[in-house]
Chain A
Amino acid sequence: MTPRLELTGISKRFAATAALTDVALRLLPGEIHALVGENGAGKSTLVKTIAGVHQPDAGEIRLDGERITIPSPAAARAMRIAVVHQEPRLFPDLSVAENIFLIAPPTDRLHTIAWREMRRRAANLFEQLDVKMDVSAPVRGLSMADQQLIEIAKALSLDARVLILDEPTASLSTHEVERLFTIVRRTKERGVGVLFVSHRLDEVFALCDRATVFRDGRHVITAPTSELTTASLVRHMVGREVSLFPKEASTLGEPLLEVRGLSDAAGFRDVSFTVRAGEILGLAGLVGAGRTEIARVLFGIESRTAGEVLLDGKPVNFRSPSEALRAGIAYVPEDRHQDGLVLDFSIANNITLPILPRLFPRLLLRARVEDEVARSFSEPLRVRATGVGQAVSALSGGNQQKVVIAKWLATKPRVLILDEPTRGVDIGAKVEVHRIVSELAATGLAIVMISSDLPEVLAMSDRILVLHEGRVAAEIARSDASEERVMFAATGQVEAAAAGAGHGG
């Protein structure tokens, strides 16, 4: 069978860095092919090479057997190579239909846009996807998942031969992922070659026919997923054996944080839970279930409308993050780049930012003290950098996340709230973050971990609180927890879960 897309001997250098060295990839018609590897393995560079953003320094590309070059993204589009990026790149003020037909809108005889025809074709695309979507509504306000679907509809409108999905599930909830998978499978049946780039190994096994592993810009292995296991895949990615989720046993202490009947304006209602010293409470639920909103109220960013919060048995109500952090609450936010770090600042300046008034009560900064403090918190977390003077923008995602955690540990918190702590972090760093979190629990911190990564929640949590549409749907002890139970509760099917889970999601 002639491959849809065949890459051989592709190499690409940026300045002194070899991003890709002599890699090969064969994408067959009607297959879903996973591309996996740690951050920096060369996945993005390869995707951008196929998308026409980068030109390879060496090697050849064949599309349906014919040798081609892809000089620009427009050329890629013309060859019916469609790319769905990790973050949808849509125009928020244009309608769904306009976004899909932005490049080549249908026109009438006067060369003006044929609006009705455009809407009809857009609606037709969503019909094929079996999705309800108002094609004349503006994109602004649509969920990440819907925006992703628009990108896919855009790809379909090209009648793509090759479809590349670059970490499409990073911001989707479980049932949105299921819907996406159904659509991708349907696309595959039409003979499209689908390249699926992902960090989530369970998805690779659930969806893909074959998998290719890259490491340090080189091709490691290509094999049918049926011949691979999670452990073997991880071994190929990191080049060493890793145990996936280390979790240390910890003795639970006194209740540190108690939340009773907490509500906010829109996100969640009547939420109650308790976290003890040394305990990890997992907060599971779909995106939009109100998990991040709870964290933002606890940290004093948003205000509550009802209920109370007790810290050490004393009622507290924080009106700003500075009050919350003085009281011993730390929050590792979901969006590292936007909220977690000042990217232009050095590691040291980031770590000391919340504690400057405490560290220097006489106002004057002392660089040596700052560096020492920064080192004492970043070194135990094994932040890989040239030194604490390095700008955090130059670090990898995993190391940036470690800096965020180090920064919050420096405040000597007693309650640590982690919001998607390993999103977008490569597998090696993920394991390290898990190790760090479980060690912190062992030292007596009360930890609340919000995560959409089910295996992570199951492996790390002592107890799991599942939210559904802003309410607590279930509280599940570690010993009773399974992916099915959590997922049923998260989708609002508590009875089914109680009756014994079994018949699919």
Chain B
Amino acid sequence: MTAPAVRSRRLPLASLARWETLLVILLVGLLVAGTQLSRFFLSANNFANLTSSVMEVAIMALPMTLIIITGDIDLSVESMVGLAGAVLGTLMLAGLPLPLAIPIVLIVGGLGGWLNGLLVTRAGLPALVVTLGTLALFRGLANVILGPTVISVWPDWFTEFGFGTIAKSPIPYTLVVFAVLAAVFWLVTHGTWLGRQVVAIGKSKDAARYSGVPVASLRNWLFILSGVVAALAGIILAARFSSARNDNGTGMTLTVVTVVLLGGVDINGGKGSIPGVVLAVFVLAVLQNVLRLAGVSSEFQGIAVGLLLVFSVIVPQLARQAKAALDRARRGRRPPAGSMAAGEINV
């Protein structure tokens, strides 16, 4: 009974490494395809374009990674993007300078996340339902605040932050924001005991609680963090499009969750890595860019994102099944009747 146990111990690390390798291969393949499609693909301009187009999704994917690792989910982020833009624009029109309005918007994001967190941890409701509700709530608030108004007059420095690049380099300001955030999330998730506690919650809430991990407050803080980061994404989106509209960010949640799962995070919680998610961000960015260069319409690009989501859930599942079949073949016997019996060998 020792042999299968030792194998199962080595499995998660090895398969994680393989998953990230898969992402790198995918990315290289897309890059090659891109160069074939257009001689402008490798230009500095195109790089700046393709990265800045996914930065809102990218930064929201970071807290989403931790939330999914704990076994929760936050579907409300895209509406917070819209609400943040609406609040920011309205405050600016009311005469408040942006450097003062931005912190207020971030606080609004935090409050929205706090509401999610309270409903999930205090009222004990499933995160899926709670954040589906606030998805509608936050969007509704944005509608109430802005109505059909489109705010499109912004200070130059603000719009420059949205799509400009540092000096003459091809590096967008927003990429710097993402890089800094990703580094912090990487360190916290994989290098500190806070990250360890988050993973412990995802693997077993009860065991974590009995071990003194503040399960409820950690989950609550992650929702707050997600709200703040979504508000930041809303600010960036408003800056990039020079526009605050009540439908800013619509459909982004799907993309955020896709990136997280493509990054190898287990939808059932307990497993995931920040480097994987960062890789997935670039896979998505390059894929969108390649599709655009190939002349694929934006409707079909949506299909591509959906397929990517399904792909990133199915492939690990198939890999697990293939591995199980391989193990059985190696044991040189046909599988015992029914898969349940196979699972019981380790009991």
Interface, chain A (partner B; CB < 8 A): 14-17, 19, 40, 44, 48, 53-55, 71-72, 299, 301, 320-322, 324-326, 331, 333, 338-345, 349, 353-354, 356-357, 359-360, 363-365, 386, 390-391, 393-394, 407
A321/B9 in contact, CB under 8 A:
no
A331/B210 in contact, CB under 8 A:
yes
**B204 an interface residue at 8 Å Cβ cutoff?**
yes
Which B residues are in CB contact (< 8 Å) with A72? 337-338
Closest Cβ neighbor of B217 among chain A residues? A320
A393/B8 in contact, CB under 8 A:
yes
Contact of A17 among B1, B188, B200, B338 (CB under 8 A): B1
Which B residues are in CB contact (< 8 Å) with A344? 12, 203, 270
B331/A394 in contact, CB under 8 A:
no
Complex CA distance for A407 and B200, rounded to whole angstroms: 15
Complex CA distance for A2 and B118, rounded to whole angstroms: 68
Segment touching A, from B16-24, B81-89, B339-347:
B339-347
Are A356 and B193 CB-contacts (below 8 A) given A322-B212, A393-B8?
yes
Which A residues are in CB contact (< 8 Å) with B208? 342, 353
**B125 an interface residue at 8 Å Cβ cutoff?**
no
A343/B203 in contact, CB under 8 A:
yes
* Minimum distance in angstroms from A240 CB to a CB of chain B: 22
Are A19 and B210 CB-contacts (below 8 A) given A390-B9, A394-B9?
no
A338/B270 in contact, CB under 8 A:
no
B203/A356 in contact, CB under 8 A:
no
Closest Cβ neighbor of A391 among chain B residues? B9
Within 8 A of A (CB), among B305-340: 331, 336-338
Show 10 A/B contacts (Cβ-Cβ < 8 Å), sorted by A. A15-B4, A15-B331, A19-B1, A53-B344, A325-B212, A339-B210, A342-B208, A342-B211, A391-B8, A394-B5
A353/B213 in contact, CB under 8 A:
yes
Closest Cβ neighbor of B193 among chain A residues? A356
* Minimum distance in angstroms from A45 CB to a CB of chain B: 9
**B209 an interface residue at 8 Å Cβ cutoff?**
yes
| Number of CB contacts from chain A to chain B under 8 A | 106
Which B residues are in CB contact (< 8 Å) with A53? 336, 341, 344
**B191 an interface residue at 8 Å Cβ cutoff?**
yes
Complex CA distance for A435 and B48, rounded to whole angstroms: 67
Are A345 and B200 CB-contacts (below 8 A) given A14-B4, A15-B3, A16-B3?
yes
Are A365 and B193 CB-contacts (below 8 A) given A321-B210, A353-B213, A394-B5?
yes
A322/B196 in contact, CB under 8 A:
no
A365/B1 in contact, CB under 8 A:
no
A365/B213 in contact, CB under 8 A:
no
Q: Told that A14-B3, A40-B1 touch, could you supply 10 new A-B pairs with CB distance under 8 A?
A: A14-B345, A17-B3, A53-B341, A301-B210, A322-B213, A338-B207, A340-B210, A341-B204, A343-B204, A391-B5
Contact of B206 among A325, A338, A353, A391 (CB under 8 A): A338
B213/A363 in contact, CB under 8 A:
no
Which B residues are in CB contact (< 8 Å) with A353? 196-197, 200, 208, 211-213
Contact of B192 among A71, A299, A364, A390 (CB under 8 A): A364
B206/A339 in contact, CB under 8 A:
yes
Complex CA distance for A263 and B335, rounded to whole angstroms: 54
Q: Top 8 nearest A-B pairs by Cβ distance?
A: A394-B5, A356-B193, A322-B212, A363-B192, A353-B211, A354-B211, A15-B3, A354-B212
Residue from the set A331, A353, A363 with the largest chain B CB neighbour count within 10 Å: A353
Contact of B191 among A16, A349, A356, A364 (CB under 8 A): A364
When each residue 193-237 of chain B gets 1 if its CB lies under 8 Å from chain A and 0 otherwise, what string results? 110110010011011111111100000000000000000000000
Which A residues are in CB contact (< 8 Å) with B14? none
B204/A338 in contact, CB under 8 A:
yes
Within 8 A of A (CB), among B11-44: 12
Which A residues are in CB contact (< 8 Å) with B214? 320, 322
Closest Cβ neighbor of A411 among chain B residues? B212
B193/A357 in contact, CB under 8 A:
yes
B336/A342 in contact, CB under 8 A:
no
Complex CA distance for A365 and B199, rounded to whole angstroms: 14
A345/B210 in contact, CB under 8 A:
no
Within 8 A of A (CB), among B232-291: 270
Complex CA distance for A375 and B3, rounded to whole angstroms: 23
Residue from the set B3, B8, B196, B203 with the largest chain A CB neighbour count within 10 Å: B196
Which B residues are in CB contact (< 8 Å) with A320? 212, 214
Which A residues are in CB contact (< 8 Å) with B6? 386, 394
Are A321 and B212 CB-contacts (below 8 A) given A53-B344, A353-B200?
yes
Which A residues are in CB contact (< 8 Å) with B213? 322, 353-354
**B2 an interface residue at 8 Å Cβ cutoff?**
yes
Which B residues are in CB contact (< 8 Å) with A15? 3-4, 331
B1/A342 in contact, CB under 8 A:
no
Complex CA distance for A324 and B5, rounded to whole angstroms: 34
* Minimum distance in angstroms from A427 CB to a CB of chain B: 19
Are A394 and B8 CB-contacts (below 8 A) given A14-B345, A360-B193?
yes
Closest Cβ neighbor of A15 among chain B residues? B3
* Minimum distance in angstroms from B339 CB to a CB of chain A: 12
* Minimum distance in angstroms from B222 CB to a CB of chain A: 16
Which A residues are in CB contact (< 8 Å) with B192? 360, 363-365
Closest Cβ neighbor of B207 among chain A residues? A342
* Minimum distance in angstroms from B280 CB to a CB of chain A: 23
* Minimum distance in angstroms from B221 CB to a CB of chain A: 14
Complex CA distance for A333 and B208, rounded to whole angstroms: 12
B207/A407 in contact, CB under 8 A:
no
Closest Cβ neighbor of A396 among chain B residues? B1
Contact of A339 among B197, B203, B207 (CB under 8 A): B207
Residue from the set A53, A55, A338, A340 with the largest chain B CB neighbour count within 10 Å: A53
When each residue 92-118 of chain B gets 1 if its CB lies under 8 Å from chain A and 0 otherwise, what string results? 000000000000000000000000000
B336/A394 in contact, CB under 8 A:
no
B210/A333 in contact, CB under 8 A:
yes
Which B residues are in CB contact (< 8 Å) with A343? 203-204
B336/A54 in contact, CB under 8 A:
yes
Complex CA distance for A489 and B246, rounded to whole angstroms: 70
Are A54 and B341 CB-contacts (below 8 A) given A322-B213, A339-B210, A345-B203?
yes
* Minimum distance in angstroms from A339 CB to a CB of chain B: 5
Closest Cβ neighbor of B212 among chain A residues? A322
